């Protein structure tokens, strides 16, 4: 222990590491009535880190070439020792991360944590949602299976409904008129370099905003913090008398992460093909479209909306309007009340919206 203490002393006299720890960890106080839902951000950080590590490992054997991609993924699954584990962690992890992200957003929504002065936290979080959707969509193509190929064909084709520039936009996205080797090159670059860099930058911005504004107090039980933001000037919303982040809440975070990992590993080991339809195991064939090709579960509502409306432009516009409304929610819903049971109009709309999304997803799955 003395060696560790000496190393810490050596660093401390140079960069003042103990001051940083006291300010950011033991002296970083959180509301006393903070609940488990506040751990969703830590769970997401852990899930994203797992995606990065497993993705880097897959890069060792994956070949981003239309002639070799499917074979390389098959080799990872069948020939490389524990390759199946790394790939399953990556594939299952992407779905679980999306689920955790949706739960994080729902908890923020129902606890009213998006309200002023945290509008920018919500907007940056919403941008993260769209980037995670984009990284999932681009990653979907990489195994070059029938599912990858045709799901990407349908998804990119949606853009053709946009007036005037639509057809050009589709070709630009694909790198050619149809999905083909140029599409794989583009999606690969987006998936492993461009979008991850954007996600890392936005996570940084999201945490910066959280640290500058201060953690919101849950709207249940205790009263709001004494030094609440008044709108006149910048004020950090601290929680005097709250619990320290380290070790108190860090342990709660670890517990939540352990529960998440238990669920994640349960799927990886006991139902690894939960998110894999049959077409995911057939190499891409540009001449044979499989019947009933469907997107991932989190795009099923979008898919069904496009099917309901005969005019693709109307379907797309409705989705765009819904997404824009959600992104700008803190600027629309400006009341200060945050308790969900004291906001009947909000609760009706929010629960109705969630049920509509679930209903459309189930309809899309069964249709």
Partner 1 sequence: MDNSSRRTFLGLCLGGLGAVAAAAFSWPLFRYLAPRTGSDAAGKVVIPAADVREGEAKFFEYAGSSAVLVRKRGGDLVAFSAVCTHLGCIVQWEKDKQDFLCPCHGGHFSADGSVTAGPPPKPLNKLPFSVSGDSITVG
Binding site for partner 1 (CB under 8 A): 57, 60, 79-83, 85-86
The least CB distance from residue 83 to partner 1, in Å, is 6
Least Å from the CB of residue 262 to partner 1: 12
Nearer to partner 1, 81 or 240 (CB): 81
Please identify, using beta-carbon distances, which residue of 236 and 269 lies nearer to partner 1: 269
Nearer to partner 1, 86 or 108 (CB): 86
Instruction: Please say which residue, 77 or 327, places its beta carbon nearer to partner 1.
Output: 77
Distance (Å, rounded) from C-alpha 206 to C-alpha 204? 5
Cβ-based nearer residue to partner 1, 82 or 273: 82
Q: Are residues 112 and 339 in contact, defined by beta-carbon separation less than 8 angstroms?
A: yes
Residue 74 C-beta: closest distance to partner 1, Å: 15
Whether the CB-CB separation of 150 and 279 falls below 8 Å is answered with: yes
Q: Could you tell me the smallest distance in angstroms from the CB atom of residue 57 to partner 1? A: 6
In the complex, the smallest distance separating the C-beta of residue 84 from partner 1, rounded to whole angstroms, is: 10
Residue 351 CB, nearest distance to partner 1 (Å)? 40
Nearest distance, CB of residue 255 and partner 1, angstroms: 13
Minimum CB distance to partner 1 smaller for 82 or for 331: 82
CB of 321 to partner 1, least distance (A): 45
Q: Which is nearer to partner 1, 261 or 362 (CB)?
A: 261
249/346 with CB nearer partner 1: 249
Encode the chain in three state secondary structure.
Answer: CHHHHHHHHHHHHHHCHHHHHHHHHHCCEECCCCCHHHHHHHHHHHHHHHHHHHHHHHHHHCCCCCCCHHHHHHHHHHCCCCHHHHHHHHHHHHHHHHHHHHHHHHHHHHCCCCCCCCHHHHHHHHHHHHHHHHHHHHHHHCCCEHHHHHHHHHHHHHHHHCCCCHHHHHHHHHCCCCCCHHHHHHHHHHHHHHHHHHHHHHHHHHHHHHHHHCCCCCCCCCCCCCCCCCCCCCCCCCCCCCEEHHHHHHHHHHHHHHHHHHHHHHHHHHCCCCCCCHHHHCECCCCCCCCCCCCCHHHHHHHHHHHHCCCHHHHHHHHHHHHHHHHCHHHHCCCCCCCHHHCHHHHHHHHHHHHHHHHHHHHHHHC
């Amino acid at each position: 222990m003395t060696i560790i203490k000496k190393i810490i002393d050596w660093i401390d006299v140079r960069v003042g590491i103990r001051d940083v720890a006291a300010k950011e960890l033991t002296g970083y106080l959180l509301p006393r009535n903070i609940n488990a839902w506040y751990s969703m951000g830590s769970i997401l950080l852990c899930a994203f880190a797992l995606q990065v590590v497993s993705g880097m490992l897959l890069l060792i054997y994956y070949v981003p070439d239309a002639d070799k991609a499917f074979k390389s993924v098959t080799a990872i699954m069948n020939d490389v020792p524990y390759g199946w584990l790394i790939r399953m962690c990556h594939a299952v992890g992407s779905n679980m991360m999306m689920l955790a992200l949706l739960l994080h957003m729902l908890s923020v929504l129902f606890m009213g944590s998006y309200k002023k002065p945290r509008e920018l936290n919500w907007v940056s979080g919403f941008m993260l949602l769209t980037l995670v959707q984009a990284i999932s969509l681009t990653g979907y193509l990489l195994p070059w299976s029938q599912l990858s190929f045709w799901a990407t064909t349908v998804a990119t084709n949606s853009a053709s409904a946009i007036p005037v520039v639509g057809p050009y936009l589709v070709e630009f996205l694909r790198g050619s008129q149809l999905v083909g080797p140029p599409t794989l090159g583009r999606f690969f670059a987006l998936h492993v370099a461009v979008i991850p860099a954007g996600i890392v930058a936005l996570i940084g911005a999201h945490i910066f905003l959280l640290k500058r504004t201060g953690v919101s107090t849950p709207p249940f039980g205790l009263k709001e913090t004494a030094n609440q933001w008044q709108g006149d000037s910048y004020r950090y919303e601290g929680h005097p008398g709250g619990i320290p982040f380290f070790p108190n809440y860090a342990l709660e975070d670890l517990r939540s992460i352990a529960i998440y990992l238990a669920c994640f590993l349960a799927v990886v080991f006991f139902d690894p093909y939960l998110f894999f339809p049959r077409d995911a195991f057939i190499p891409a064939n540009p001449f044979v479209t499989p019947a009933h090709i469907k997107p991932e579960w989190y795009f099923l509502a979008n898919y069904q909306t496009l099917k309901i409306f005969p005019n693709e432009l109307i379907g797309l516009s409705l989705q765009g309007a819904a997404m824009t409304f959600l992104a700008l929610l803190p600027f629309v819903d400006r009341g200060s009340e945050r308790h969900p049971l004291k906001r009947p109009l909000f609760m009706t709309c929010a629960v109705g919206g969630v049920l509509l999304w679930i209903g459309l997803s189930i309809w899309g799955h069964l249709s």
